[in-house]
Amino acid sequence: MSTNAHPLRPLRWVTSSKFTGLELIDQTQLPNDLTHLKCGTVDSVWHAIKRLSVRGAPAIGVAAAYGVIVALNETGASSDWRTTVNKACDYLATSRPTAVNLFWALDRMRAKAAELDESSFDAARAALLAEAHAIRNEDAAMCAAIGNAGKHLIPEGGGVLTHCNAGALATSERGTALSVMYAAHEDGKQFTVYADETRPLLQGARLTTWELMQAGVDTVLICDNMAAVVMREQKVQVVVTGADRIAANGDAANKIGTYGVALLAKAHGIPFYIAAPSSTFDLSLGSGDEIPIEEREADEIRAFGARLTAPEGVRVYNPAFDVTPAELIAGIITEKGLISPVSEANIRETLAAADAPSPAGPA
The span from the CA of 174 to the CA of 171, in Å, is 7
- Strand 337-339 relative to strand 331-334: parallel, antiparallel, unpaired? antiparallel
The span from the CA of 44 to the CA of 26, in Å, is 12
Catalytic residue, candidates 196, 244, 251, 322: 244
Question: Quick one: how far is CA 224 from the chain centroid?
Answer: 20
Which three-class secondary structure string do you get for 273-342?
Answer: EEECCHHHEECCCCCHHHCCCCECCCHHHHEECCEECCCCCCCCCCECEEEECHHHCCEEEECCEEECCC
C-alpha torsion 198→200→205→207, nearest 10? -90
The span from the CA of 46 to the CA of 75, in Å, is 16
Please, what is the end-to-end C-alpha distance for the chain in angstroms?
19
Q: Is 89 helix (H, G, I), strand (E, B) or coil?
A: helix
**Catalytic annotation present for 244:** yes
- For the chain, count helices (H), then strands (E): 12, 16
Report yes or no: 342 and 331 within 8 Å, Cβ to Cβ.
Answer: yes
Q: Which residues are catalytic?
A: 244
